[in-house]
Amino acid sequence: MKIYLATGNLNKKKEMTQILSGHTIITPKDEGIDFNPVENGTTFYENSIIKAKALYEIVHCPVIADDSGITADALCGIPGIYSSRYAGPEFPKGRPDGTKIPQDEQNRLLIAQLNNALAAGADTSRLKNGPRSAHYTCAMVLYLGNDRVFISQETMEGTIVEKIEDAAGTGGFGYDPIFFLPQYNKTAAQLTAEEKNAISHRGKATRALVRIINGIENI
């Protein structure tokens, strides 16, 4: 089945192609489609719907869209839906001019912001996985038309490393080198693709939609 993926992120395409084996995954760029919707939702779900609907209205074929990001739990939602735009404590929602900073800098700034919050006495008593607990979230939409929409949302739990020197791994992307998984004693970037897809927020959300895809006739 041909499924359009509402992203320009080649890393996401690679992950989704691995998880959705047996289906042909196409991004807008693959077909020369100009696609850059304004993601002005206030939740991961809202942004995924915005992207899915915008691409469906162009291609009129099945579309999968996701919105995902990382949250340091002690920072009460930061960076969250602004993960890709995050530019440190002064610009947690991104720089006003829209420019993005390199991922390594985002990683360094997030560690520093978390460390500063903990040193200042941030209340972490509610955090079951400790003061450095964090989670990835992925909201994913299968869009088949205005009245045929399926949604799944999943998380991957872990912690943020204590210092940038602890960042490790060359796999994955984004904040994976600083996202530590105690059960593996590795960062997400140190996992194999198969290991990560088995436990990741995006892997779990995608598999939920795969069950829907496989159960629908005349999709």
73 flagged as catalytic: no
Find out whether the peptide bond into 28 is cis, omega within 30 degrees of 0: no
3-class DSSP state of 120: coil
Q: How far is CA 104 from CA 88, 108, 164, in A?
A: 12, 6, 9
Mark the binding-site residues for Mg(2+), compressed into ranges.
67
Query: Which residues does 97 contact at the CB level (< 8 Å), separation at least 6?
Result: none
Mark the binding-site residues for substrate, compressed into ranges.
7-12, 68, 173-176, 196, 201-202
Alpha-helical (H) ranges within 44-177 are: 44-59, 103-119
Rounded Cα distance between 53 and 15, Å, is 22
Question: Which residue among the candidates 66, 67, 73, 123 is catalytic per the annotation?
Answer: 67
Mark the binding-site residues, compressed into ranges.
7-12, 67-68, 173-176, 196, 201-202
Q: Enumerate the active-site residues.
A: 67
